[in-house]
Chain A
């Protein structure tokens, strides 16, 4: 076991004051959002084709 490699795996913990920043930094998109956006773009392109 390499000590330096293992030590590099440790990251500082977030402080309580940094909760707000951490929440805003989180990704808000899930697969449902992605699929819905794909469907919306398809609808728009189909309407354009009909015109």
Chain B
């Protein structure tokens, strides 16, 4: 672990930096969170959920940028998906943060040492960018020609495959849709949860159903077993047994053909059961070798996080000691310090909830933070960096649910619930006073429950102060309905 104060290497288990005596309790907590996200990313990568793994690893690095294991794995995933430049970026940054005993040094050497490989990568990227340019300017045929060649040489270049599939789907032809389906299946084998691939493959349900029907028919064919009983007579002569097969007319055209087909089938079975598994084993050993190494590292990280949990009780004691120190420095009373501490905890939790996508909870936590009491400019800047986004997204989320309750749809399919709708829309306005959609639907709820005075207030606000609002004309017509001249 790197000490954030003096930037020297220090052990994760140290409570204080051995070089500058800085308290490392908060840093250790953040490093633990980084490791938790790294473990999550590693599990997802091993399950081939590469998109999910990228999200987890990026979060891990947001908490602790020196997590070289997370950064190296992120680079590997980018490389697997064909994004070689992004992979190199991560590995180069990793080598800058940690020079000794770092796998990234080896990865960068391997990529850069082979000039032919580098040249090939650069050409592929240029081909993809050119094809994208063609597609964006409407030259779809040229784009398809370039991308077909690129994809056949680099089936793991996911962006190229997705663009080609999209162009095939746009073409609308049956054979194009079948090709698109095969490409998307290939992409989903590399990255199980690739959102774009899943979206596109939904458009190809007809192709998928036909493929399944064909596979079922083939399955039924191979399950058929053809048996023919043979008649035999036994004749005992001089203690020997001879089996006489009764005479059957020869079918000259069928037997040789059957024998040839039997030989071919035997060869296919040998390939399928002997040769192919060996090839697959070799391939999976190669491609999974790196992940096996990371699983060894993961075991070490797991034991570190377990020991941190065991030390949880000690941390509380350390916090009390810290509070005493701060009280001594400030000369203030313990209640102020506790409030101060709670406020910063709320700020950190709000940021974490925001990163996880829980915008309502993040916004509620931020509401508890009094920005005027934040002494530090950096703390205020940290608060401002995501507060607007969190409030906006929380307001949108409340508006969506509020309009569902107003319309009686989705979770409120049982019927219109104007009380609940008003409660949710008021919360939406609490986080964004200029949310005109929330104002409009709140006005409608008041209008439909008989409170025309309040309804008029909201509609008037939209008409007078937000002439550019999406629901301006609806608000104006509601006012006319209630007898006002607009």
Contacts and interface: CB of A to CB of B under 8 A. Distances in A.
A14 B322 CA distance: 47
Nearest to A41: B376
B199 interface: yes
A1 B203 contact: yes
Nearest to A45: B375
Interface string B359-373: 000000000000000
Contacts of A17: 122
A19 B89 contact: yes
Interface string A35-50: 1111001100110011
Contacts, number: 111
A41 B63 CA distance: 20
B125 A28 contact: no
B382 A13 contact: no
A51 interface: no
A19 B89 CA distance: 6
Interface in A10-40: 10, 12-19, 22-23, 26, 28-38
Contact of B376 (A7, A30, A38): A38
Given A10-B132, A32-B4, A36-B5, A19 B88 contact: yes
A50 B328 CA distance: 11
Contacts of B65: 28-30, 32-33
B62 A31 contact: yes
Contact of A14 (B62, B92, B125, B329): B125
Contacts of A36: 4-5
Interface residues of B, number: 52
A16 B118 contact: yes
Given A13-B125, A16-B125, A26-B93, A31 B30 contact: yes
A31 to B, nearest CB: 5
Contact of B199 (A1, A32, A35): A1
Given A3-B166, A16-B122, A35-B26, A10 B159 contact: yes
B7 to A, nearest CB: 10
Contacts of A49: 330
B291 interface: no
Given A32-B30, A38-B376, A16 B62 contact: no
A32 B199 CA distance: 37
Given A19-B85, A31-B351, A42-B375, A9 B121 contact: no
Nearest to B130: A12
Given A1-B199, A32-B63, A13 B83 contact: yes
Interface in B139-187: 159, 162-163, 166, 169-170
Given A23-B89, A38-B379, A41-B376, A30 B63 contact: yes
A41 B64 contact: no
B159 A13 contact: yes
Contacts of A35: 4, 26-27, 30, 348
A36 B379 CA distance: 10
Nearest to B160: A13
A49 B344 CA distance: 20
Contact of B132 (A12, A31, A41): A12
Contacts of A6: 166, 196, 199-200
B85 A41 contact: no
B126 interface: yes
B136 to A, nearest CB: 7
B35 to A, nearest CB: 13
B377 interface: yes
Contacts of B200: 1, 6
Contact of A23 (B31, B93, B330, B376): B93
B61 interface: yes
Nearest to A22: B89
What 6 pairs across the A-B complex have the smallest Cβ distances? A41-B376, A14-B85, A36-B4, A30-B65, A37-B378, A12-B129
Given A10-B163, A15-B129, 5 more contacts: A3-B170, A14-B125, A16-B118, A16-B121, A34-B382
Interface of B: 4-5, 26-27, 30-31, 61-65, 83-86, 88-89, 92-93, 118, 121-122, 125-126, 128-129, 132-133, 135-136, 159, 162-163, 166, 169-170, 196, 199-200, 202-203, 329-330, 344, 348, 351, 375-379, 382
30 contacts: A1-B169, A1-B202, A3-B166, A3-B169, A3-B170, A7-B135, A9-B196, A10-B135, A12-B129, A12-B132, A12-B133, A15-B85, A15-B122, A15-B125, A17-B122, A19-B85, A22-B86, A23-B92, A30-B61, A31-B64, A32-B27, A32-B31, A32-B63, A33-B65, A35-B27, A35-B348, A37-B378, A38-B344, A38-B378, A38-B379
